Amino acid sequence: MKELVILTGYSGAGKSTAAGLLEDLGFFCIDNLPPEVTYQVASLVLPSIDKLAIVIDIRGYMFGNVKKAIAEVKERFPFTKVVFLTATKETLVQRFAHTRRAHPLSKQTTSIMEAIDLEIEMMKDVLEMADIVIDTSQLNPHQLREKLTKLLGNVETKDFTVHIISFGFKYGIPLDADFVFDVRFFPNPFYIPELRPKDGRDKEVKEFLKNIDGVNDYLYKIKSVVSFAISRYSSEGRRELVVAIGCTGGKHRSVYFAEELASQLEKENFKTTIEHRDVALG
């Protein structure tokens, strides 16, 4: 499903932070776009991507009719959402004082308060047509991320990828793993002569392991932890999780668990990739 967000709002209200968070949520962001080309750019980019965010700040309001441009985009792309970031005047003044940056309208005014008042007046029409208004006065970046994620829709499971790595502890733990699960406490097929040359993808090894007491319970616990982590990471804007499962040599038990975990996650519509790092070495 296509998504188009037009992000605007007062200078100092957090548009740069919000744009970065939208990128974390999978949006392709275009910053400081002149309003008169908004429709053309959206028409050019949207056929190639699913999520587009266009940032328009007060500089765009000075060089074009933003309200007209947004109305044109929303007529052509009805799934468009206009997100307007606001904050109290006191908060905006404090933020400019803290960053020591000049307000974009400082050349047209004699004080920061006058610049803020002028900006509020210039943006009032677009504020009225906004689909989502977020007051960032009391929000830190983490809280803003959570609010954006909830308002724009959580990352869907089909957009989240779980990369599963089977490995052998004797060859080292994968350094990029978010979670590492040890399966060495289950019987090792390596010590069964007819299973030794096979790996965890072979039918005989799978039959051997799935009938061992506790294997299915442990697999369920791993999946529960991973599923919970996905929901939390998604709310933080993460789109990928690396899960490593290790046995001694990385050929039988870890491979089996990796394959089974991927199968169960795929049934819940999660994207998965599998890497059997040490299967040829075990």
Q: Is 168 known as a binding-site position?
A: no
Q: Is 13 known as a binding-site position?
A: yes
Q: Is 222 known as a binding-site position?
A: no
Q: What is the C-alpha end-to-end distance of the chain, expressed in Å?
A: 44
Q: Is 64 known as a binding-site position?
A: no
Q: Is 12 known as a binding-site position?
A: yes
Q: Is 58 known as a binding-site position?
A: yes
Q: Is 192 known as a binding-site position?
A: no
Q: Is 137 known as a binding-site position?
A: no
SS3 (DSSP) at 138: coil
Strand order in the sheet with 51-55: 28-30, 51-55, 3-9, 80-86, 132-135
DSSP 48-85: T-SEEEEE--HHHHHTS-HHHHHHHHHHH-TTEEEEEE
Q: Is 60 known as a binding-site position?
A: yes
Judge whether 30 and 42 are in contact, CB under 8 Å.
no
Q: Is 11 known as a binding-site position?
A: yes
Q: Is 14 known as a binding-site position?
A: yes
Q: Is 202 known as a binding-site position?
A: no
Over the range 64-94, which residues count as b (16 or more CB within 10 Å of their CB) and which as e? bebbebbebbbeebeebbbbbbbbeeebbbe
Q: Which residues are annotated as a binding site for GTP?
A: 57-60
Q: Which residues are annotated as a binding site for ATP?
A: 9-16
Q: Which residues are annotated as a binding site?
A: 9-16, 57-60
